[in-house]
């Protein structure tokens, strides 16, 4: 069984093919990062236009690489949300056109379900499991008791982890997206600044990163006023230590409280070397198995959409010809809806 998937929720035009739910056949990602860099972030109108230009090329490339014809594809999966509406629409319309022309079943996929299912291309899921989702727009702990079911036990009350990375990077005048740059600098610095950790209420699995971001900005500002020299490397290392400390501590506590078999890490910030290391150390001491996807499956791609779409398809989910982009699609509701 072959599932072809399309992902265009943000600034990557991506097409992938997955065989039998878990085998990656082809994964093509056309990134627009270079076009958005000079604006310091993703410009929605530019993103939509690039998706239109890249969609057909990316599709043809994926099919060519796989050696498969469209007739051999069993279903078309596509990210229906959340994301930028204009960007999502390009993928949704491409998927609908393909499915209609070839009379193939169509499956709508939640982008974050995709980030989580990226891990299943590496290792089979064992339930119950928890997913630590850390991306550009989301930071949440998601409990899965079975395939396609998602319960959010904690989430950010303000900025997402990736957003905090990108904002701090911008303050340090690093290029967009800043996460990888901070990660690199952090490896060369000392944790010499004691930035706050927001644990929130004692039992809460929620997160908050806006206070930390403000603290970094204030610290830089005060140092400048006093004529003190702060090394960017030390700021990066101290900032990263705060983020990683809170994320990894809450993840372990949740894993123990819910007695899950696996802890899955998902989203762009799962590429962070500090986070990967801290999680590996902490999970070595508990019974829960830790799964972190390879870097190319952490940031946006369509392989993850195919992986989640294949499961939804085999559970009987089908989208109609009225499938629409849904920029605010809710993960729990997406999991609850029936075919």
- Residues within the annotated binding site? 111, 115, 133-137, 166, 179, 183, 272, 300
Q: Taking CB under 6 A as the rule, which mask of x and - marks residues 140-179 in contact with ligand ATP?
A: ----------------------x--xx----------xxx
Residues placed in the known binding site for substrate: 133-137, 166, 179, 183, 272
Q: How far is the CB of 210 from Fe ion (least distance, A)?
A: 20
Q: Which is nearer to ligand ATP, 165 or 283 (CB)?
A: 165
Q: Which is nearer to Fe ion, 8 or 135 (CB)?
A: 135
Q: Please check whether residue 62 is in contact with residue 26, taking contact to mean a CB–CB distance below 8 angstroms.
A: yes
Nearest to 149 by CA among 113, 114, 119: 113
Q: How far is the CB of 15 from ligand ATP (least distance, A)?
A: 16
The answer to whether 140 contacts Fe ion (rule: CB under 5 A) is no
Q: Which is nearer to ligand ATP, 174 or 290 (CB)?
A: 174
Q: Taking CB under 5 A as the rule, which mask of x and - marks residues 1-40 in contact with Mg ion?
A: ---------x------------------------------
Residues 6+ apart with CB under 8 A from 92: 78, 79, 80, 108, 323, 324, 325
The answer to whether 306 contacts ligand ATP (rule: CB under 6 A) is no
Q: How far is the CB of 299 from Fe ion (least distance, A)?
A: 7
The answer to whether 75 contacts Mg ion (rule: CB under 5 A) is no
């Amino acid at each position: 069984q072959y599932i072809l998937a399309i992902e265009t929720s943000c600034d990557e035009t991506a097409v992938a093919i997955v065989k039998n739910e878990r085998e990656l056949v082809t994964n093509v990602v056309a990134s627009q990062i270079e076009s958005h860099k000079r604006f310091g972030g993703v410009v929605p109108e530019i993103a939509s236009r690039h998706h239109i230009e890249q969609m057909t090329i990316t599709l043809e490339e994926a099919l060519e690489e796989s050696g498969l014809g469209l007739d051999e594809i069993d279903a078309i999966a596509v990210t229906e949300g959340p994301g930028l509406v204009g960007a999502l629409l390009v993928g949704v319309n491409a998927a609908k056109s393909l499915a209609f022309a070839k009379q193939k079943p169509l499956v709508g996929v939640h982008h974050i379900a995709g980030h989580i299912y990226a891990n299943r291309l590496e290792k089979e899921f064992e339930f119950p499991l928890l997913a630590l989702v850390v991306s550009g727009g989301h930071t949440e702990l998601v409990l899965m008791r079975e395939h396609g079911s998602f319960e959010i036990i904690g989430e950010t009350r303000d900025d997402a982890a990736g957003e905090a990375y990108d904002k701090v990077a911008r303050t340090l005048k690093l290029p967009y997206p800043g996460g990888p740059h901070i990660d690199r600098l952090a490896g060369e610095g000392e944790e010499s600044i004691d930035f706050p950790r927001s644990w929130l209420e004692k039992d809460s699995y929620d997160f908050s990163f806006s206070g930390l971001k403000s603290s970094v900005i204030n610290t830089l500002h005060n140092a400048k006023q006093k004529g003190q020299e702060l090394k960017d490397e030390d700021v990066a290392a101290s900032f990263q230590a705060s983020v990683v400390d809170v994320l990894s501590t809450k993840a372990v506590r949740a894993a123990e409280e819910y007695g899950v078999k696996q802890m899955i890490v998902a989203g762009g910030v799962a590429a962070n070397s500090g986070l990967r290391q801290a999680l590996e150390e902490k999970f070595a001491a508990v019974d829960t198995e830790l799964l972190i996807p390879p870097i190319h499956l952490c940031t946006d791609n369509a392989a993850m959409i195919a992986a989640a779409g294949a499961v939804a398809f085999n559970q009987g989910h089908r989208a109609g010809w009225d499938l629409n982009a849904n920029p605010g699609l809710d993960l729990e509701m997406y999991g609850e809806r029936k075919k």
